[in-house]
Amino acid sequence: MTFAPLTTITSKTLVLPAANIDTDQIIPARFLTVTSRDGLGEHAFHDWRYTEDGSATDHILNTDDAKQCKILIGGHNFGCGSSREHAPWSLTDYGFRVVISSEIADIFKSNSLKNGLLPIVIDKRAHEWLLDNPGADVTVDLESCEVRLPRNGGTYKFEIDEFSRHCLMQGVDEMGYLEMQADAIKAYEAN
Amino acid sequence: MTEHPKTLFDKIWHRHIVVPESSAHPATVYIDLHLIHEVTSPQAFTVLRERGLKVRRPDRTLATIDHSTPTLKNTDGSRPFVTEQAEKQVDMLLANTKEYGIETHGFDSDYRGIVHVMGPELGATQPGMTIVCGDSHTSTHGAFGAIAFGIGTTQVGHVLANQCLLMRKPKTMAIHVDGELGDGVSAKDVILAIIAEIGVGGGTGYALEYRGSVFENMTMDERMTVCNMSIEAGARCGLIAPDEITFNYLKGRKFAPDNFDAACKDWASLATDDGAAYDKEVHLKAEDIRPMVTYGTHPGMAMPIDGMVPAATDEAEEKALGYMSMTAGGPITGAKVNRVFIGSCTNSRMDDLRSAARIMKGRKVIEGVTTIVVPGSEQIKTEAEAEGLHKIFTAAGAEWREPGCSMCIAMNGDKAMPGELVVSTSNRNFAGRQGPGARTVLASPETAAAAAVTGVITDARTLKGAA
């Protein structure tokens, strides 16, 4: 899996403030019978965006502005629930490259990193500022590991595993690295 | 005391390090057992093909079909898939595993079932192992003293090709529950009480270890119920030290080691050493735990069934109460129930079905309450039928279905209608999880059965002796 390298992104934010947004909200299970990973953006947050008869709701995700946003701000504990990689696939297909929250669930975080979607767990104060300022022009700099907020919002550092940062900046997943360890794996299996 | 006391998690972790972690890269961790199913594997096989890679260890890989499979059979024996796409997904799993030489338990196998029921039944799940599957409830296998956790599809590809994963070591958290559980308090109630205590994100970044007399006294079925829902507290895995109960469960199973006594001796050495330190410890008293139900839209919103619905603490909880039509300050018992689901990788094993049958025996499901009982596997189905449990369910007016995930994830067509209240023995009560607009109350098999025969949320303890 390869994706566009990610270094610096400046974009308006889209804010979904609810805490504990789970992967069943991000993409409902009935859309998981697909056998490819393409085109899932239309089902991102499907049950928030469409009524039962399929007509679009007035949810912010259905606006043209939203589709220009590359940075998603989620409430605390974003992405909890299942291991479905369809969740980050649907978000990247929709157009997001960054998810910021005060806490992000482990499996969702791991899946995001492998698909060019940068998960950022940020300081509570910065998170609150972001929740309070939807649509703000925010810069995420993966080189310096900084989130820069406009106006008087300030600049915040974030932590990311060095290896994951490297993969995101190169636009590669970990398969190649694992393949290079074939000898070590063979030696382990021989013991 | 050992010189460098280690936790159960640490001992297993260290046995599986192929390349140790450093500041520059995560550890390369060897995976002993890789379980796969139809939903999270197709795109991984596509990557193998694109890159011209082989499955490194088909002998360490096991497959089944469970999520998209119908739980009904047509009279001609065919299966009514919910969509052509669902059937195609199942066919693709079968074709992929055939092509790559992976042992697969499809419709023709006596072992087909929910992947987390099947692994233990085959004895493929063993203490000391690292076990992964593209399914977050892989934590279930931690009941055997294994590091078992869910992975995404990209990692399914990594394991298929390399039998390894790149990972940073998580922190450890001990959850102690000591004392005696009260009558009518089940393993499901224990884990719901734990999640309510630490919160749905409380375990994020941690591997849990369940410790104390309550877990020591549990059967393997009960331990699996507990470990299964570790992920509902945010923890990718949850473990219980293997003991005689574990060994007795595994003895004689298909994949049990040939030199079983030697294996048991090694497994017994995995238990956490006295004096080993955890990053965090949590204590609950068994006596404080009552039968639990959820009242909101995540598993942390759980309450004792005989208590009052708590007030919302934030906007999301307020919305959840509205979605669930729950009134803060009022009782939850007496709420009208439309459907009951007994099944899922949390509660579809023999202990669970026996518990539900004890409540349903001699009683009738209330008219209009659609009640389905879905055994976790073909093995469970056969054993339950040999015990006559299916007759208790059907005599009461419940449906006895074919094994699978069914209404837990509602992707095979088994679902609730908008607005319906479902009392469910599954693991997630997220909005719409069991069908758009459906309202889910998570509960034990006893509580679910009590809801079926009364038509309302009922404390099963109040029914005892009435049958």
Query: What b-and-e string marks burial along B103-139, b requiring 16 or more CB atoms within 10 Å of the CB?
Result: bbbbeebebbbbbbbbbbbbbbbbbbbbbbbbbbbbb
Q: How many CB atoms lie within 10 A of CB B294?
A: 27
Amino acid at B295: Y
**For residue B308, what are the contacts with CB-CB under 8 A and spacing of at least 6?**
B328, B329, B330, B331, B332
Comparing alpha-carbon positions, the chain B residue that sits nearest to A83 is B136
Q: Is the CATH code 3.20.19.10 the one for domain A8-190?
A: yes
Q: What is the average pLDDT score of chain B? A: 97
Say if the Cβ atoms of B437 and A52 lie within 8 Å.
yes
**Averaged over A66-83, what is the pLDDT?**
97
Chain A, nearest residue to B15 by Cα: A188
Side by side, the strands of the sheet bearing A146-149 are: A118-121, A98-101, A71-74, A8-16, A137-141, A146-149, A154-157
Nearest to A103 among B152, B157, B201 (CB): B201
Instruction: Quote helix, strand, coil % in chain B, to nearest 5.
Output: 35, 20, 45
User: Residue B128 falls within a domain, yes or no?
Assistant: yes
Supply the pLDDT for residue A1.
Answer: 60
CB spacing of B316 vs A19 below 8 angstroms: yes
Q: Which of B67, B298, B411 sits opposite A22 (nearest CB)?
A: B298
Q: Which residue of B has its CA nearest to A109?
A: B152
Question: What span, in angstroms and rounded, lies between the C-alpha atoms of A60 and B415?
Answer: 28
In terms of domains, do B25 and B153 share one? yes
* Minimal-distance CA residue of chain B relative to A190: B18
For residue B194, give the amino acid letter: I
Q: Which residue of A has its CA nearest to B16?
A: A188
- Give the minimum alpha-carbon distance from B363 to chain A in angstroms, rounded to a whole number: 34
Does B154 sit within 8 Å of A85, measured CB to CB? yes
Q: What is the count of structural domains for chain B?
A: 3
B340 shares its domain with B455: yes
d(CA B36, CA A33): 15
Contacts of A185 in chain B (CB under 8 A): 18, 28, 30, 56, 162-164
Does some domain include residue B335?
yes
Between chains, do A22 and B136 touch, taking CB under 8 Å as contact?
Answer: no
B214 contacts B287 by C-beta, under 8 angstroms: no
Show residues of chain A in contact with B168, CB under 8 Å.
161
Residue B3 lies in a domain: no
Using the 8-state DSSP alphabet, how is residue B51 labeled? H
Q: B231, B254, B288: which is the final residue of a domain?
A: B288
Domain that holds residue B265: 171-288
Chain centroid, CA A85 distance in Å: 11
Query: Do the beta carbons of residue B399 and residue B371 sit within 8 Å?
Result: yes
Q: Considering only the beta carbons, identify the residue of A34, A107, A188 that sits closest to B85.
A: A34
In a domain, B262, yes or no: yes
> A77, B200: Cβ pair inside 8 Å?
yes
Judge: B42–A107 Cβ closer than 8 Å, yes or no. no
Record: contact B89-A29, CB cut-off 8 A:
no
Q: What is the pLDDT of residue B465?
A: 62
Contacts of A63 (CB under 8 A, 6+ apart): none
Distance from the Cα of B462 to chain A's closest Cα (Å) equals 33
pLDDT tens for each residue of A40-54 = 999 999 999 999 899
Instruction: Decide which of B269, B288, B307 is a domain's last residue.
Output: B288
Cβ-contact B378, B52 below 8 angstroms: no
Name the residue among A75, A80, A107 with its Cβ closest to that of B150. A107
The first and second tokens of residue B79, run together, are 């299966």
**Which residue of chain A is at minimal alpha-carbon distance from B296?**
A20
Same domain, B208 and B317: no
Please indicate whether, in this complex, the C-beta atoms of A20 and B151 are within 8 angstroms of each other: no
Q: From chain A, pick out residues whose CB is under 8 angstroms from the CB of B432.
A: 24-25, 28, 47
Chain B interface disruption, residue of A15, A83, A91, A113, most B CBs within 10 A: A83
Euclidean distance between CA atoms B37 and B412, whole angstroms: 14
Q: How many residues does chain A have?
A: 191
In terms of domains, do B147 and B181 share one? no
The C-alpha atoms of residue B357 and residue B158 are separated, in whole angstroms, by: 43
pLDDT band for position A152 (50/70/90)? confident
- What ranges do the domains of chain A cover? 8-190
Residues from chain B that touch A161, judged by Cβ atoms under 8 A, are 26, 168
Interface touch B432/A25, C-beta < 8 Å = yes
B431 and B383 housed in the same domain = yes
Residues in B closer than 8 angstroms to A184, CB to CB, are 18-19, 28
Closest residue in A to B135 (Cα) is: A83
Task: Write out chain B residues lying below 8 Å of A115, CB-based.
Answer: 154
Residue of A nearest to B160 (CA): A175
**What CATH number does the domain containing B437 carry?**
3.30.499.10
Residues of chain B under the 50 pLDDT cut? 466-467
In whole angstroms, give the CA distance from residue B306 to residue B24: 52
Residue B195 distance to chain A (closest CA, Å): 13
> Which residues from chain A sit within 8 angstroms of residue B136, using beta carbons?
81-83, 107
Residue of B nearest to A46 (CA): B436
- What confidence score (pLDDT) does residue B1 get? 56
Neighbours of A190 (CB within 10 A): 6
**Chain B residue numbers touching A107 (CB-CB < 8 A):** 136, 150-152, 231, 236
Of B184, B171, B196, the C-alpha closest to B294 is B196
In angstroms, the CA A99 to CA A23 distance is 14
Pair (B297, B435) in one structural domain? yes
The verdict on a CB contact (< 8 Å) between A18 and B316 is yes
The answer as to whether B4 is a domain residue is no
Report yes or no on B309 lying in a domain: yes
Nearest to A162 among B23, B56, B432 (CB): B23
Query: Tell me, what DSSP letter sits at residue B457?
Result: -
pLDDT of residue B466: 46
Decide if B2 is inside a domain. Answer: no
Q: How far apart are CA B121 and CA B305, in angstroms?
A: 32
Q: Do B228 and B193 share a domain, yes or no?
A: yes
Residues of A with CB below 8 A from B43's CB? 35-37, 85
